[in-house]
Chains A and B, each alone.
Chain A
Amino acid sequence: GSGGFRKRKHDNFPHGQRREEKENINPSSDLMISFKSFQQELDTRHDKYERLVKLSRDITIESKRTIFLLHRFTSAPNGEEILNESEVKLDAVRRKIKQVAQELVGEDIYQFHRAISPGLQEYIEAVSFQYFIKTRSLISVEEINKQLTFSAEDREETTNTTSNSHDKQPHTWSLKVTPVDYLLGVADLTGELMRLCISSVGNGDIDTPFELCQFLRQIYDGFTFIGNTGPYEVSKKLYTLKQSLAKVENACYTLKVRGSEIPKHMLADVFSTKTELIDQEEGLS
């Protein structure tokens, strides 16, 4: 009856009795052979993608930790030590990025861009934050890319998971961050700078906020210059950037107006209430 017919509809064909009158699917037909190779090709591609996603996650986590570490910089007396430690951490991140670069040898980077983009952005955020603390200026794309060129010498760790896919490896690997990744990373950096500003006020540091304010304004100007030429994500970040800038500018304003009146040890209190106020206003608007 038709009931039984319907039930078997999605079974594997060779078992269906109605197949008997037709020729069975030959597992070694041309079509099946080519689909077997498709299976292999797709699996290889998906595996690579997954490995890159995993690397990207590791990069994100380590970069975030570096940023947290760098936030301790202003409050701790042992600044030099913290900078060194952050350098060690970033080196570890770069080793991961080297693995990414090795995975991408001979590949089109844009094919796997979505897998690695979040990690790269986080790395850019961390490395530019460190660069700012050291030099008080913005790291350039070229500078970042220069640090992401790896040679075969620093091969202390054997990358057993990655290297087996390539038979002959070149002597250098490099990874170029895309301009958009760079922009997004820098936009994230401004959030960190805002936090740095507020916390440095808490430490009684009067100069840093003004310096930061100036720097953030430059970045904001840069982003407004790009405006909507960039992709959608960049315009989205512009809104957050504006909020960060407003917070820093308000902080500077308060410092200027009330700084002379308030004893330094109380500054932290003034700011904690002030920032709350700003937050509330933002919630309303």
Chain B
Amino acid sequence: MSVSDMFIALQGVLTADQDIREVRAGPGAGGGDAGLGPARPDGAVCPQEIRKVVQALEQTAREILTLVQGVHQGAGFQHIPKKCQKAREHFGTVRTQMEALKTKFPADQYYRFHEHWRFVLQRLVFLAAFVVYLESETLVTREAVAEILGIEADRERGFHLDIEDYLSGVLTLASELARLAVNSVTAGDYSRPLRISTFINELDSGFRLLNLKNDSLRKRYDGLKYDVKKIEEVVYDLSIRGLNKEATVGGGGEK
């Protein structure tokens, strides 16, 4: 094999790689129908593009975000169950899009293209966690998120949810809850911040168990203490004004 033959072969491999990553098709619909092309039988990756599907996913994620952001508005607190319901419907679209994404690359090369969907996956984890929190005020488990998104919880079984992505999404939830605590006070719901505080504290002690490396997850985790602080301040403000008496939990604060 001559040198130039080798390089021609390598160039072919690199171009095929780019096909997987890039948007080459014409104006994509961007909707839920992001080309469900089957993988080629010879095991090669079909040149349907990861980026295109990821863009569609991002679109759905934005729609869900807009929907759940509604809870911060004054009237939004009454409609939480309805909003969650709607968001759940949108996650159906996410599941179809995830199915499409799975066909774009060989299952055993997940981490090769991980960077492409990392961001959107973290956001979707956050959205799922937020919806589950609003519904039941508990932390969504990794398995449950995977189920909501239509993917697997562990690596052996195919397209999965990486643990770091899950944890990142949960950290985003923490800052969203800090915001929710503030806004629920404005909306006159004085008991919610106390419940959020308990939840966040538990989350914080959960994260304390982890030995994080000096990576992006660690940086996100470093932000958690500010969320904890923010919520504590809200609880403090409520306590010194005796407003937490109206809350149903505890009620041990004497004037």
Contact = CB atoms under 8 A, between A and B. Distances in A.
B30 to A, nearest CB: 27
B210 A225 contact: no
Given A34-B206, A38-B167, 4 more contacts: A2-B236, A22-B249, A110-B110, A226-B14
A10 B201 CA distance: 11
Given A46-B211, A179-B13, A223 B7 contact: yes
B117 to A, nearest CB: 14
A25 B139 CA distance: 14
Given A42-B163, A110-B112, A226 B11 contact: yes
B211 A39 contact: yes
B27 interface: no
B197 to A, nearest CB: 7
A32 interface: yes
Contact of A35 (B2, B155, B206, B253): B206
A179 B108 CA distance: 17
Contact of B3 (A34, A180, A222, A229): A222
B209 A34 contact: no
Nearest to B201: A13
- Band of interface residues on B: 35 or more
Contacts of B210: 35, 38-39, 42
B164 to A, nearest CB: 8
Contact of A43 (B7, B11, B204, B211): B211
Interface string A150-184: 00000000000000000000000000000110110
Interface in A33-51: 34-36, 38-39, 41-43, 45-46
Contacts, number: 120
A42 B202 contact: no
Q: Which of A25, A141, A223 has the most B CB atoms < 10 Å from its CB?
A: A25
Contacts of B10: 141, 179, 182-183, 222, 226
B213 interface: yes
A38 B138 CA distance: 17
A35 B7 CA distance: 48
Given A34-B142, A179-B10, A29 B202 contact: yes
Contacts of A229: 11, 14-15, 18
A219 B163 contact: no
A75 interface: no
B141 interface: yes
B6 A222 contact: yes
A161 to B, nearest CB: 20
B36 interface: no
B43 interface: no
Contacts of A137: 3
Interface in B168-222: 194, 197-198, 201-213
B25 interface: no
A140 interface: yes
Nearest to A231: B14
Contacts of B109: 108, 110
A223 B207 CA distance: 47
Contact of B14 (A113, A179, A222): A179
B3 A138 contact: yes
Nearest to A36: B209
Interface in B77-116: 108-112, 114
B67 interface: no
B24 interface: no
Interface in A115-130: none
Given A108-B111, A183-B10, A229-B14, A31 B139 contact: yes
Contacts of A219: 3, 7
